[in-house]
Homo-oligomer: A and B are copies of this chain.
Amino acid sequence: MSITVVGSIGLDTVETPSGKNEEGLGGAAVYFSIAASVLAEVNLVAIVGDDFPEEHVALLESKDINLDGLERAQGKTFRWAGKYHDDVNERDTLDTQLNVFETFHPKLPEAAQSAPYLFLGNIHPALQLEVLDQAKPQFIGLDTMNLWIDITLDDLKAVLKRVDCLIINDGEAKQLTGQLNLRDAAKAIQAMGPSIVVIKKGEHGCMLFGSGGEIFSIPALPLEEVKDPTGAGDSFAGGFMGYIATKGENDFDTLKQAVVYGSAMASFTCEAFGPDALVTVNKEKLVERYSAFRKLTAF
């Protein structure tokens, strides 16, 4: 079944201990779409400026991503710049230019409205509410960030009431709930709305909390080199939602598998700058990576 994703597309300038990538293709919706497209049909809803390179559009089209919801506005595309520390789990944001994103109001074409799966990428919660008012999905996933927890918590809480699953970082889960224990944080989030909570812990893997109190925990794949972790979380979400959409179910066993596929996607993304490694993933490579996770964790 198909997924609609609404989120950012940007041109990222990223510096890591492995090198630098100037104005490369980035944005949560890009990573999500490419990852999800390996498993399911994807409708992308986002905005770019008139400076957005055609080659990036062609790349997304080559992945059979439906771009009917891609708005091209006059002005510059969203830009982000960041620098990772020697410990690539830490990064500083050097620059954020919203540009055409500043006045963006997502408009979902017919196919995007009727898709049974919806993922609300990390954008202003007020925009996420606008999306919810246009769509009638059977399953909704949500991402957010510390900024929205800080400045627009009421809107975020209104969104949380209407979604099935929140995918969030450990730091943000603690910030949102005031709970330092991730079990307690997940419970507190579930009380806000989503029955399913995924807490991402970067290099330490992630945890899944089910509606019946079930917990699943998986480490990250220890990579030889993390070249650029930008987009790893969005790739995770794409693999996670993509797998659920292919199954058409969300029982806990399906969700566990989805977490493994999500983790596999994230691991690919870290192996190269931008989506350079992620775009090479096909079903065969994904299954190989899934096996690597099993080998890493089975006892």
Chain A positions near chain B (C-beta within 8 angstroms):
86-88, 180-183, 201, 204-205, 207, 215-220, 222-226, 256-257, 259-260, 294, 296-299
Contacts A204-B204, A219-B219 known; A226 to B297 CB distance under 8 Å?
no
Contacts A207-B222, A222-B207 known; A215 to B296 CB distance under 8 Å?
yes
Q: CB distance A226 to B181 under 8 Å?
A: yes
Q: CB distance A296 to B217 under 8 Å?
A: yes
Q: CB distance A299 to B216 under 8 Å?
A: yes
Question: Which of B183, B226, B256 is close to A299, meaning CB atoms less than 8 Å apart?
Answer: B256
Nearest 3 interchain pairs by C-beta: A217-B219, A204-B204, A256-B299
Contacts A207-B222, A222-B182 known; A299 to B217 CB distance under 8 Å?
no
Q: CB distance A299 to B219 under 8 Å?
A: no
Cβ–Cβ < 8 Å partners of A257 in chain B: 299
Cβ–Cβ < 8 Å partners of A180 in chain B: 86-88
C-alpha gap A222/B205 in the complex (Å): 13
Q: CB distance B222 to A215 under 8 Å?
A: yes
Residue of B nearest to A87 (CB): B180
Cβ–Cβ < 8 Å partners of A260 in chain B: 299
Cβ–Cβ < 8 Å partners of A296 in chain B: 215-217
Residue of B nearest to A224 (CB): B183
Cβ–Cβ < 8 Å partners of A87 in chain B: 180
C-alpha gap A256/B224 in the complex (Å): 21
A121 to chain B, nearest CB (A): 26
A-B contact sample (10 more), CB < 8 A, given A207-B219, A260-B299, A297-B299: A215-B222, A216-B297, A217-B219, A217-B297, A218-B297, A256-B299, A257-B299, A259-B299, A294-B299, A298-B298
Cβ–Cβ < 8 Å partners of A298 in chain B: 298
Cβ–Cβ < 8 Å partners of A183 in chain B: 222-224
Cβ–Cβ < 8 Å partners of A297 in chain B: 216-218, 297, 299
Question: Which of B181, B205, B223 is close to A219, meaning CB atoms less than 8 Å apart?
Answer: B205
Cβ–Cβ < 8 Å partners of A215 in chain B: 222, 296
Cβ–Cβ < 8 Å partners of A86 in chain B: 180
9 A-B contacts (beta carbon < 8 Å): A86-B180, A88-B180, A204-B204, A205-B219, A217-B297, A218-B299, A256-B299, A294-B299, A297-B297
A122 to chain B, nearest CB (A): 24
